[in-house]
Amino acid sequence: MDAQEFRANGQAVIELIAQYLETIEDRPVTADTKPGDVRHQLPAHPPTAPESFESVLADVSNIIIPGLTHWQHPNFFAFFPGNSSYPSILADLLTAGLGVQGMSWLSSPACTEVETLMLDWMQELLGLPESFRSTTASGGGVIQGSASEATLSSILAARWRVTEGQVNKDGDTAKLIAYCTSQSHSSIEKGLRIAGIGTQNIRIIEHDTLFAMVADALEAQILADQAAGLIPFWVCSTHGTTSSGAFDPTSAIGAITQRHKIWLHVDAAMHGIAALAEEHRWVNDGLELADSYCTNPHKWMGVNFDCDLFWTQDRASLLGALSILPEYLRSAAAETGAAIDYRDWQIPLGRRFRSLKLWFAIRCDGTAVFQEIIRRHIQITQELADLVAQDHRFEIMAPHPLNLLCIRLRGASPQDADARTDALIEAANATRSVFFTRTVLEGRSVLRFSIGGRTTHAQHAMSAWGLLRSLA
């Protein structure tokens, strides 16, 4: 393919995407497919000669798209819906076309500097603590691929700080203890395990009936561990759990972590973006006490995956944990401290020019668009909760201040209610007109009604609720 063909083919892909998004509601949300169906429609072996672009796009339309789960469908109520706003799609196209590497300042100065600026812009837009800004003596932010990687980076920084860097040499994590609740995201345990903190050294702290960490229980456990000669080093406080949207009490937790000099990470992957709307800025409560923080524009802000924002107030520990400097990566600019080399802020070396999609989204759509979406989803969720509360067959299982509603069918016994709830989720998903995911809260089956799609309006949620009622 040459530049001329790229122009024509590019227009065809743009048109395909525009039509896909304009007509997505006409499709089922999920694919009618079983494992192997897609693969078996494609050649088992690679082609021996080039094929036309038309034939490739035809396969996209006829085989790939029907085999997808449509994360941008307005009736996608599973996980947290995916959002690819038009400006962010075009920015990702530009990222691919420019094809630069942002591993160091030298490897593409603008890639680094736009990223730093975007993190500072987002600090302002979200109303985060000033101490996260890159312009401060010890703070700063970076775009990570996902909250999983941000969490792991945070663990590694904490591990480095508590051992005064010794862990880089001896890898000794035997006495290090980490704290979270059973409601924390799976990436917490995964990240800890990767970092050599086995499950025996992970303390699952009690949560209250609202699924939020009990701060007193945290401190009691920390004291017990210290008394046993162990070293508490990392606490995760979640702002919006995946299962139920619960908020751990970061202000209370932060007072404890400060007292005991423990790294506090706040995982706001799900709900931190709510702070774009001033009236929901309570989601930031306690953040001034956090050593690190992450949230995902690739969820509620409509910036297409991957775009996780990770800030720390202690960049020296992050760099201590993650920097490596072979000769072929040295540069004068970085050694004087004038420039940021983002490879030292993340797990991998290589990195794409991801800040372009945040920059395009903020400039082209503007924050009012995001605020409207956030407010709309929260209002729908509250209206829906009112309706659920009026239907005696259902019960609401958790607080729902934002855009996640956890519901369940009642039954003759808890087991009966579980079975009926599981059957309801299965029956609803089997229609392929909606997609819900299941979770378990206090051992009981729950349907998560997650309202986060850019094109999801009240009628979509109400229609899905109608379906649930008719199937119940």
- In DSSP notation, 8-26 reads HHHHHHHHHHHHHHHSGGG
Q: What are phi and psi of 37, to 5 degrees?
A: -60, -45
Among 85-93, 246-254, 310-318, 464-472, the segment contacting a second copy (CB under 8 A): 85-93
The CB-of-433 to a second copy minimum distance in angstroms stands at 17
211: left (phi over 0), alpha (psi -120 to 50) or beta: left
- State the DSSP H helix or E strand holding residue 471, giving kind and residue range, or none if neither: helix 458-471
* DSSP reduced 3-state for 142: strand
- State the DSSP H helix or E strand holding residue 219, giving kind and residue range, or none if neither: helix 215-227
Half-sphere exposure of 204 (CA within 13 A, CB side): 10
Which position among 25, 27, 28, 69 is part of the footprint of a second copy (CB under 8 A)?
Answer: 69
CA distance linking residue 443 with residue 247, whole number of Å: 19
Among 207-215, 250-258, 333-341, 417-425, the segment contacting a second copy (CB under 8 A): 333-341
Cβ pair 236, 179 in contact under 8 A: yes
The CB-of-446 to a second copy minimum distance in angstroms stands at 9
Nearer to a second copy, 45 or 392 (CB): 45
Which position among 221, 431, 437, 455 is part of the footprint of a second copy (CB under 8 A)?
Answer: 437
Binding to a second copy (CB under 8 A) within 176-235 occurs at 185-187, 189-190, 193-201
The CB-of-56 to a second copy minimum distance in angstroms stands at 5
The CB-of-386 to a second copy minimum distance in angstroms stands at 25
Which position among 75, 88, 313, 317 is part of the footprint of a second copy (CB under 8 A)?
Answer: 88
Which position among 9, 221, 382, 431 is part of the footprint of a second copy (CB under 8 A)?
Answer: 9
The CB-of-216 to a second copy minimum distance in angstroms stands at 26
Give the number of residues in contact with a second copy, rule: CB under 8 A: 153
Which position among 26, 164, 170, 386 is part of the footprint of a second copy (CB under 8 A)?
Answer: 170
The neighbouring-strand residues paired with 395 are: 408
Angle between helices 147-162 and 186-194 (to 10 degrees): 50
Binding flag, residue 49, a second copy (CB under 8 A): yes
Among 57-65, 212-220, 232-240, 372-380, the segment contacting a second copy (CB under 8 A): 57-65
Q: Which residues contact 337 (CB under 8 A, 6 or more apart)?
A: none
Binding flag, residue 316, a second copy (CB under 8 A): no
The neighbouring-strand residues paired with 445 are: 440
Cβ pair 81, 69 in contact under 8 A: no
CA distance linking residue 272 with residue 269, whole number of Å: 6
Cβ pair 300, 269 in contact under 8 A: no
The CB-of-290 to a second copy minimum distance in angstroms stands at 21
Which position among 25, 28, 67, 391 is part of the footprint of a second copy (CB under 8 A)?
Answer: 67
Q: What are phi and psi of 237, to 5 degrees?
A: -110, 130
Binding to a second copy (CB under 8 A) within 385-414 occurs at none
Binding flag, residue 442, a second copy (CB under 8 A): no
* DSSP reduced 3-state for 270: coil
Binding flag, residue 423, a second copy (CB under 8 A): no
CA distance linking residue 330 with residue 107, whole number of Å: 11
Nearer to a second copy, 261 or 363 (CB): 363
Which position among 63, 231, 385, 467 is part of the footprint of a second copy (CB under 8 A)?
Answer: 63
Binding flag, residue 7, a second copy (CB under 8 A): yes
Which position among 179, 233, 263, 305 is part of the footprint of a second copy (CB under 8 A)?
Answer: 305
Among 13-21, 280-288, 382-390, 456-464, the segment contacting a second copy (CB under 8 A): 13-21
Binding to a second copy (CB under 8 A) within 91-130 occurs at 92-101, 105-111, 113-114, 116-117, 120-121, 124-125
Give the residue among 153, 152, 164, 264 at the shortest CA–CA distance from 219.
264
> Residue 178 is which amino acid?
A
Which position among 75, 238, 243, 257 is part of the footprint of a second copy (CB under 8 A)?
Answer: 243
- In DSSP notation, 287-349 reads GGG-SEEEE-TTTTT-PPSS-EEEEES-HHHHHHHH----GGG--HHHHTTSS--GGGGSSSS
Residue for token pair 């059973």:
182
Binding to a second copy (CB under 8 A) within 345-364 occurs at 347-350, 352, 356, 359-360, 362-364
Among 51-59, 256-264, 283-291, 396-404, the segment contacting a second copy (CB under 8 A): 51-59
Which position among 227, 228, 324, 412 is part of the footprint of a second copy (CB under 8 A)?
Answer: 324
Which position among 131, 148, 237, 257 is part of the footprint of a second copy (CB under 8 A)?
Answer: 148
